[in-house]
Structure 1
Amino acid sequence: MFFYVDESGHTGNNLFDITQPYLYYGVIGSTVNLDILAKEEISKIRKIFDVDRLHAAELGEYKLIDLVADFKKLSKKFSLTFDFYRVKKDDYPVICFFDQVFDQGINPAMTWSGYWTPLRYVLLAKLNFLFSRELKKLAWEARLCSRDKEADTKVIYICEQLITRLGRLDDSRSRELFLDVLVWAKNNVRQLIFNAKSKRDKKFISPNLIGFQWLCCTNLSVKGFSAI
């Protein structure tokens, strides 16, 4: 299989740009190498529009519409598939917080089933319900903070704020579990190793990299990546 990937909305580790709240990935899948077999047809389309590549930045949305018929023919000819992925950037800090603070391998107050089974998505949704936009920003600041003490102070504050909001959860078991997890976390905050200190580490926690890894994991038979 061959996959051709492009993304839109990439803002690095700036997750709160209101003009680009989402990160998108589009993936064309093919059983054949389009770089070879579709090269001639793609070149003809490029000449028609007088561009070096078929990209929205060069064509604009109106010219993109004119490409639909040609790409429909290519899609039928090569039996192409298309997958679409989206990351809501301001939810990403909560996901990171859950993965660090609720990690059952680190936090003994967390249950195995709550972290290692699909139940994690239910708990993650409940956690997101407790977060305000301000707490999300603070959690992301802590994640990117190079100074351990400063990062730990932010995490402790977030845990304390979340504890005061547990009454908003509608079931007693979730309230009990969250309380145990958050109390342990704030009392053992350095064990969480919450912050990414180096430039390299900061790159590895960006939503752009996480999104790309996700599409790779969901297409395990990938033999090649390219961009048309």
Structure 2
Amino acid sequence: MFFHVDESGNTGNNLFDVAQPTLSYGLLSSRSNVDVLGVEIHSAMLASLGVDALHAAELGVDRIESIAPLLIALHEKMAFSFDYYFIDKPTYALVQFFEAVYDAGLNDAVAWVHYWTPMRFLLIGALSEILNEEFLRKSWSLSIERRIATRLGEVVNLLQDARGRIAASVADARLKEILTDPLDFGIERPERLDFGASNPKIISPNAVAFQFVVSAMARHVRGAPDGAAVVVTLDHQQQFNTAQLRTYESQRLIAEGFKKAPAEQRDFILNHPLYQRRPPGFE
């Protein structure tokens, strides 16, 4: 199997670049080596455009459209599969705030069902209507702080700010209670929450989105003949290639651990509410 990975919208850990609010990854997969079998068609593209290399940002839509028949011919010859993943960066900052505060394993005021089931998405959606970009900028700054112990006062201020915003919102009383009780817990015990990162690159959108790319590659490999070799070509990202490799290694270790786990543990994970298409008993 041959995989080519590229990304667009890379702004590192700056999640609030208005010109590039979305990070996206594209994964091109084939059972044949396009670097060998696609040379003739690629050369025809270069000759048609009078260039030495194909760069979409430089060519523009019109010139890309002019070689569309050759691109289609290449696609048909190689039988490419294409997977696309994206992260809306400001929304990712919101999700990181939710993970830092509303983790039921860390915050005693969070009910299991509010974190470990699809109920979490309803709460994240509610928070998205209440917390603005100014708030999320402050929260993200704390999420990627290496020395979070020196900024616990700012964590408390952030949670108090969130509490005030929720209180002033149009949310119903029960929703306000669900969202506010964990904040009160965090205000009293900020060190129990999950702000801060020893390596901020590991929680960058680049590294997180790359997990989906790795999962897609695994899915394609499972459909390949036994013993098939795997060749992966990544775009050069000096800042994030190391994080991508660590992400790949972490996913590999998780997969190995899952295979070796007792059957009841595997069943617990596979039957977890977050991974079920519908709740038990509902058809």
TM-score > 0.5 by shorter chain: yes
**4+ runs of 1 displaced by more than 4 Å?**
none
Is 1:179 aligned with 2:177?
no
Matched residue type, 1:186: I
Partner of 1:6: 6
1:142 aligns with 2:149: no
SS of alignment partner, residue 107 of structure 2: coil
Q: 1:139 offset after TM fit, Å?
A: 0.6
- Name the counterpart of 2:196: 195
The alignment's TM-score, normalised by the length of structure 1, stands at 0.86
CA distance in 2, matches of 1:187, 1:227: 45
**Aligned pair in 2 of structure 1 residues 81, 104: CA closer, same or farther (>3 Å)?**
same
Instruction: Choose 79-88 or 17-26, whichever is displaced more.
Output: 79-88
- Tell me by how many angstroms 1:113 deviates: 2.1
In 2, the alpha carbon distance for the partners of 1:41 and 1:9 equals 28
TM-score, normalising length: structure 2: 0.71
Give 1:134 deviation, angstroms.
0.7
- Residue 13 of structure 1 aligns with an amino acid whose one-letter code is N
Q: What is the DSSP-based 3-state SS (H/G/I as helix, E as strand, rest coil) of the residue aligned with 1:124?
A: helix
Aligned counterpart, 2:207: 209
Q: Could you tell me how far 1:5 is from its partner in structure 2?
A: 1.8
Q: Separation in 2 of the partners of 1:54 and 1:30? A: 20
Matched pairs, number: 225
- Asked if 1 retains the 8 angstrom alpha-carbon contact of 2:3 and 2:28, the reply is yes
| Counterpart residue type for residue 109 of structure 1 | A
Aligned to 2:233: 226
Over aligned residues, Cα RMSD in angstroms? 2.4
Deviation at 1:218?
A: 4.2
Residue 204 of structure 1 and its aligned partner are, at CA, apart by: 0.9
Unaligned runs of 5+ in 1: none
Say if 1:126 and 1:169, in contact at 8 Å, map to a contact too: no
Deviation at 1:169, TM superposition (A): 5.2
Which structure carries more relative contact order (alpha carbon 8 Å, separation 6+)?
1
2:24 corresponding residue in structure 1 = 24
CA distance, structure 1, for counterparts of residue 106 and residue 172 of structure 2 = 25
* Matched AA of 1:187: E
Q: Secondary structure at the match of 1:163?
A: helix
User: Which shows bigger deviation, 7-16 or 173-182?
Assistant: 173-182
Q: 1:19: how far off? A: 1.6
Percent identity over the alignment is 35
Q: CA deviation at 1:72?
A: 1.5
What is the SS of the residue equivalent to 1:170? coil
Residues 28-73 of structure 1: CA distance to partner in whole angstroms, max 9, x if unpaired?
2324332333233223323433444322244333322222221112
Structural mapping, 1:1-228, within 5 Å: 1-167=1-167, 168=169, 170-197=171-198, 201-221=199-219, 222=221, 223-226=230-233
Residue 176 of structure 2 aligns to a residue whose secondary structure is: helix
Distance 1:225 1:52, change over 3 A: farther
Q: Which amino acid aligns with 1:180?
A: D
